[in-house]
Amino acid sequence: MVKGISHIAFNVADMERSIDFYCNVLGLDKIFEIMIPENIAEIFPGNPITALAGKPGIVCLQVAPGEFIELFYPMPDTDLHSGGPNYTRIGYVHLSLVVYDIHDTSEVMRKHGVTIDTEISKGPDNTFQFWIKDPDGNRIEFMQYTDQSYQVVYDKASLP
């Protein structure tokens, strides 16, 4: 039934700052921007997005073929200082991105002045990882699979 993951979406406080981070630091490509249709209230009655009718609403960034990150312009009355996710509430916890070389990725982050929250280590799933935050405080994990990574060993596609 499910074919894959299409996208993850973030509300952002400052669109230009977020585009700079995701495109110029992480190397993603801005693919398109969605204008909120004038008739959005007919499509989503009562939804706060109706306040953005006729304005830019979503910037779509490509991670890999068919995989995207959507950045949402803030709705009116959005608390722009609410920060990113945490482990003390139900819902989103973090985004994880698979990389070709964990050490090169860490160096690129440092060169761009990104704070590394945890140094490279092998996690409990036998995968190399390190962590950062995006400009809005959303946690991002970078992973490099190993031959022993659970994601490789237990990949349903590779099982008999």
**What 8-state DSSP symbol labels residue 81?**
T
pLDDT in tens, 89-130: 667 788 999 999 999 999 999 999 999 999 999 998 999 999
Please tell me the distance from the alpha carbon of residue 68 to that of residue 8, in angstroms, as a whole number. Answer: 7
* CATH number for the domain running over 1-76: 3.10.180.10
Q: Tens place of pLDDT for every residue, the chain, 160 residues? A: 677 789 999 989 899 999 999 999 999 999 999 998 899 889 888 888 888 889 999 999 999 999 999 999 887 777 777 766 665 666 778 899 999 999 999 999 999 999 999 999 999 899 999 999 999 999 999 999 999 999 888 876 665 5
User: Residue 72 contacts by C-beta under 8 Å, 6 or more apart in sequence?
Assistant: 9, 10, 11, 12, 57, 58
Please tell me the distance from the alpha carbon of residue 34 to that of residue 152, in angstroms, as a whole number. Answer: 36
Please tell me the distance from the alpha carbon of residue 48 to that of residue 55, in angstroms, as a whole number. Answer: 13
CATH number assigned to the domain with residue range 92-155, chosen from the 4 options 3.10.20.70, 3.10.180.10, 3.30.1010.10, 3.40.50.720:
3.10.180.10
pTM of the model: 0.82
Please tell me the distance from the alpha carbon of residue 31 to that of residue 111, in angstroms, as a whole number. Answer: 25
Domain locations in the chain?
1-76, 92-155
Contact predicate 82/76, CB 8 Å: no
Contact predicate 144/126, CB 8 Å: no
**Fold: same for 1-76 and 92-155:** yes
